[in-house]
Amino acid sequence: MRTDLIRKTALTAAGLAFTTGAIAGPLTAAHTAHAATPTASVQTDRKPHGERELKVDYAAQPNFYYCGPAATRNALTVQGKNIDVDAMAKVMGTTEDGTNSINDITPVLNKETGRKAYESTEIRSTKADDKQTDELRADIVRTVDDGRAVVANIAGTATDTDGNTHAFEGGHYISVVGYRDNGKTVTIADSANPDTAAYRISVDNLADWIATRGYTS
């Protein structure tokens, strides 16, 4: 595997500023090695017109099956926390088959947050309906306004607001760290590849991406 280090920089995908430590080169087409252990800080400033972004100290995942722990780690950095992904993987029961479900993520987020702030929500249908999409939008806005990130378990292919596709047919975990247009568009922190660490997607597309799985907020 490559272990070339990329100098500390600011990721500006989708016009967003993510801070990051040293990042190893790609492991596979869909997954990459992770960053060193950067510090984190919280940004909860309200932006105009129903917008808010949380500051993420981003790290890519160290292998193809650590997306659950990596997404959880990135989510926790918005609260100023930096938890080791190996420790989280052990608690979540993560194996080379991945992390089983969003219900394995929620207890870790609550433990590290220090209160029972997170609850799991499943979208069991193959496509989200209007009610499920509206609930997801409201949950993202509420959670981000509380200074916390959402973690979502997704599967399949989705298209972001720039027209780029993101495909995870076998499933993946991502963090949702901001919103605009009152939650109609949301900001993703994706541990799979530092080249696409940050992007925006409509909440409708995100809800369908989550369908058959779930999220915690």
pLDDT digits (tens, 9 = 90+) for 192-204: 999 999 999 999 9
Cα separation of 185 and 187, whole Å?
7
Percent helix, strand, coil in the chain (nearest 5)? 30, 30, 45
* Strand, coil or helix: 68: helix
Work out the mean pLDDT of the chain and round it to a whole number.
84
**E strand or H helix that includes residue 141:** helix 130-145
Strands 150-159 and 120-122: unpaired
Cα separation of 212 and 124, whole Å?
4
Mind listing the pLDDT tens digit for each residue in 122-169?
A: 999 999 999 999 999 999 999 999 999 999 999 999 999 999 999 999
Mind listing the pLDDT tens digit for each residue in 51-104?
A: 999 999 999 999 999 999 999 999 999 999 999 999 999 999 999 999 999 999
Return the minimum-mean-pLDDT range out of 18-22, 43-47, 174-178: 43-47
Of 122 and 30, the structure prediction assigns the larger pLDDT to 122
Mind listing the pLDDT tens digit for each residue in 69-80?
A: 999 999 999 999
State the chain's maximal CA–CA distance in angstroms. Answer: 46
Residue 53: φ, ψ to 5°? -130, 140
Of 47 and 141, the structure prediction assigns the larger pLDDT to 141
| Domain range list for the chain | 10-216
* The two three-digit tokens of residue 114, written as one number: 């220090």
Q: How many CB atoms lie within 10 A of CB 110?
A: 15
**pLDDT given for residue 7 in this prediction:** 27
**pLDDT given for residue 20 in this prediction:** 61
Query: Which amino acid is present at 96?
Result: E
**pLDDT given for residue 16 in this prediction:** 57
pTM for the complete prediction? 0.83
Of 5 and 108, the structure prediction assigns the larger pLDDT to 108
Cα separation of 107 and 51, whole Å?
28
Of 198 and 34, the structure prediction assigns the larger pLDDT to 198
Residue 214 clears pLDDT 70, i.e. is over it: yes
Residues 25-37 have a mean pLDDT of 31
Cα separation of 42 and 59, whole Å?
16
* CATH superfamily, region 10-216: Cysteine proteinases (3.90.70.10)
